[in-house]
Amino acid sequence: MIQQKCALVCGAAGFIGSHMVKRLKKEGFWVRGVDLKHPEFSESTADDYLVGDLRDPDVCNRSLDRTFDEVYQFAADMGGAGFVFTGENDAAIMHNSAMINLNMLESCRKNNSNRIFFSSSACVYPSYNQMDPDTPNCSEDSVYPASPDSDYGWEKLFSERLYLAYYRDYGMAVRIGRYHNIYGPEGTWDGGREKVPAALCRKVVRASDGGEIEVWGDGKQTRSFLFIDDCIEGTIRLTRSQIATPLNIGSEEMISINELAGVVMEIAGRKLTLKHIPGPLGVRGRNSDNKLVKEMLGWEPLISLKEGMGKTYVWIAEQIRKTDALTK
Ligand code: NAD
C-alpha cells in the first residue's frame, strides 16, 4: 500500500499559505494547517486545522505531533509598504517572526520533519544595489555585504542564516525561496497590510468617473510582481529539489508603480488621474534576477503581469461589490 504523504503549512490562513494548502490537497497530501486565525476569503481545505500562536513552542510541538514529509513555513508578521516601511512595527516584525522561525525549526528537528521550506524575501537585498530604478541588482550572491533597507529584511536574513545553520549542523533539507512581491486573488486588499497591486485595484474600483487615485511618492520606483500560481509552482519545485542555497522566486517583468497603475486602469477600462502623495516607499528599484533559479531549478514564471493583474482585478472588484452590498 502506498502511504499518503503529509504536509504541514504554517501561516495557512495567509495569502500564500491558503493557496499552498489547496495545491497540496489537489496533489493528494494529508495537510495540516496552522495559523493564528482561519482564512478570511475561503474555507481552508486542510484535513486538520490548528488555530494557535507559533511563537509558543508548545503550539509548534503540537503542530508537529507526527513526522511530515514537507513543511512550509509562511507564518510571519508582515504586510505591504504601509506596514513594513513606516518603522512603527519594526519591534513586532522582528520579535514575532524570529520567534516563529526559532521555534518551528527546532520542533521540526526534534520530530524528524526534515524537509522545510522557508519563505524569505527580496527585502534581504542591500539597499545600495537598489538606488537606481532602471538597474537594480538582486542576484542571489549580491546579498552580502548585508544592508537591507528594513528590519523586516534583516529578520528574513537572520532567519535564512538560522535555517542554513540547521542544514549544515543537523543535515535538514532546508529550502529557501526569496519571494518578490507575490500577488493574486485571495490576498489582503485593504486594512493597511495590503500590497501595491491589490491597493491599486481597490483604488481604481473605488474611484469616481474621471477622478483620481493616490500613489505614494513620484511613482517612478520600480518593482516586479509574481502571480500566486507561479509562486506556488516555484515553491513546490524548490522544496522537492536538492538545492539548499537560497533562490529568487520572482518575475523579471519590472515596471514602475505609475505604469502598474496604468495597467490596472487599462484592465478596468477607466481613465483616472494619478495624485502623488508622500508615503512609505522602500528602495528605488527592485527586480528579480532569475538566472540562477532558471539554471538550477528549471523554473520560470508563466503568467504575464497583464494576465495576473486581470485575474486579481476581477476578484477584488467582486470583494468590493460584496462588501458594499453588506454595508448598504
Ligand atoms: P500573510 O500575512 O497573508 O500570511 C502570513 C500568515 O501568518 C497570516 O495568516 C498570519 O495570521 C500568520 N501568522 C502571523 N503570526 C503568526 C503566529 N504568531 N502564529 C501563527 N500564525 C501567524 O502573508 P503572505 O503574503 O501569505 O506571505 C507568506 C510568507 O511569505 C511570509 O513569511 C512573508 O514574509 C513571505 N513573503 C511574502 C511576500 C509577498 O509578496 N506576499 C514577499 C516576500 C516574502
pLDDT of residue 144: 98
Please tell me the distance from the alpha carbon of residue 314 to that of residue 146, in angstroms, as a whole number. Answer: 39
Q: What percent of the chain has pLDDT over 70?
A: 100
Q: Is the CB of 78 under 6 A from ligand 1?
A: yes
Q: How far is CA 18 from CA 77, 121, 138, 268, 283, in A?
A: 16, 18, 28, 27, 29
Best mutation site among 40, 56, 78 for ligand 1, i.e. most ligand atoms within 8 A of its Cβ? 78
Residue 162 cell numbers, joined: 538560522
Q: Which of 72, 152, 183, 313 is catalytic?
A: 152
For the cut 90, the answer to whether the pLDDT of residue 1 exceeds it is: no
pLDDT at 282: 86
Q: Which of 2-16, 41-55, 78-92, 130-144 has the lowest mean pLDDT?
A: 78-92
**Is 264 a domain residue?**
no
Protein residue with least CA distance to atom 3, ligand 1: 14
**pLDDT of the residue at 325:** 87
Nearest alpha carbon, ligand 1 atom 20? 35
| Cell output for 177 | 525561496
Which neighbouring-strand residues pair with 39?
none
Instruction: Name the residue with higher pLDDT: 79 or 130.
Output: 130
148 touches 157 (CB < 8 A)? yes
* DSSP secondary structure string for all residues of 203-244: HHHHSPTT-EEEEETTS--EE--EEHHHHHHHHHHHHTSS--
* Predicted confidence (pLDDT) at residue 280 exceeds the cutoff of 90: no
The predicted pLDDT at position 252 comes to 98
* Domains: count for the chain: 1
Q: Is residue 1 part of a domain?
A: no
Q: Is the CB of 176 under 6 A from ligand 1?
A: no
Specify if 221 maps to a domain.
no
User: Is 123 part of any domain?
Assistant: yes
Kindly report the CATH number assigned to the domain that includes residue 20: 3.40.50.720
pLDDT tens, position by position, 196-250: 999 999 999 999 999 999 999 999 999 999 999 999 999 999 999 999 999 999 9
With 90 as the cut, is the pLDDT of residue 178 above it? yes
Is there a catalytic annotation at residue 163?
Answer: no
The reply to whether 45 falls in a domain is yes
**Strand locations in the chain, DSSP E?**
6-10, 30-35, 48-51, 70-73, 115-121, 173-179, 182-183, 212-216, 222-223, 226-227, 247-249, 255-256, 273-277
Q: What is the pLDDT of residue 81?
A: 78
What range does the domain containing 107 cover?
A: 6-183+226-249
The pLDDT of residue 281 is: 83
Q: Which of 35, 62, 176 to mutate to test the pocket of ligand 1 (most atoms within 8 A of CB)?
A: 35
Minimum-distance ligand 1 atom for the alpha carbon of 193: 2
Give me ligand 1 centre to Cα 265, in Å: 28
Number of separate helices (H) and strands (E) present in the chain: 10, 13
Across 31-57, average pLDDT: 97
Q: Is 154 in the pocket of ligand 1 (CB under 6 A)?
A: no
For residues 97, 100, 43, 39, the Cα torsion angle rounded to the nearest 10 degrees is: -20
All three cell numbers of 35, joined, read 495559523
Residue 317, in any domain of the structure:
no
Confidence of residue 327 (pLDDT cuts 50, 70, 90): confident
Which of 8, 9, 16, when mutated, tests ligand 1's pocket best, judged by the most ligand atoms within 8 Å of its CB?
A: 16
Q: Does residue 124 form part of some domain?
A: yes
Q: Quick check: is 188 in a domain? A: no
What is the structure's pLDDT at 192?
86
Mean pLDDT throughout 289-311? 98
Instruction: Give 182 Cα–ligand 1 centroid separation in angstroms.
Output: 11
Instruction: Indicate whether residue 182 lines ligand 1 (CB < 6 A).
Output: yes
